[in-house]
Amino acid sequence: MPLLKLRESQIMKIHYLTGICAVFFVAIHILFRIGMGMSFNESLEFHNVVANYHNIYYVILLELILVFISIHGFNGLRIILLELKQNQWWESTITILVLAAMIGVIAYGTRTIIIGSQL
């Protein structure tokens, strides 16, 4: 019996939802960059990027992008790895390793966002 029991249809719904949300929030992120009243290249200069981290809405947006893309990406990796081999032990092991990696990436990314915004 798998350690983490979700039906594959539920996992795929999560995968589709996180993909749609990731596209939506990345589009908002790009609009933030374009709507700064300067060229796109100027918006990527160091002092402008650091200034963005002091905008709480931008910080929340970055965190949402981090979470949705991490969940979507690691779930996609999980799906690919489950196609290589199919048995209970492999599925449980891959699921646990992918969840651990996903949590690690989200934690490290959140740490970076917090340090950048000096919260």
The residues, any chain, with a CB within 8 Å of residue 42's CB and separated by 6 or more, are 36, 48
Nearest to 94 by CA among 110, 59, 102: 102
pLDDT in tens, 2-13: 545 668 888 899
- 3 occurs within a structural domain: no
| Residue at 99 is within a domain | yes
CA dihedral 17, 22, 25, 27 (to 10 degrees): -120
Residue 2 placed within a domain? no
Q: What confidence tens digit (pLDDT) does each residue in 18-45 have?
A: 999 999 999 999 888 887 777 777 877 8
pLDDT recorded at residue 42 = 82
**36 falls within a domain:** yes
Number of domains in the chain: 1
- For residue 85, is it within any domain? yes
CATH number at residue 26: 1.20.1300
What is the pLDDT at residue 5? 67
- pLDDT at site 48: 82
pLDDT for 1 equals 46
Domain that holds residue 73: 8-117
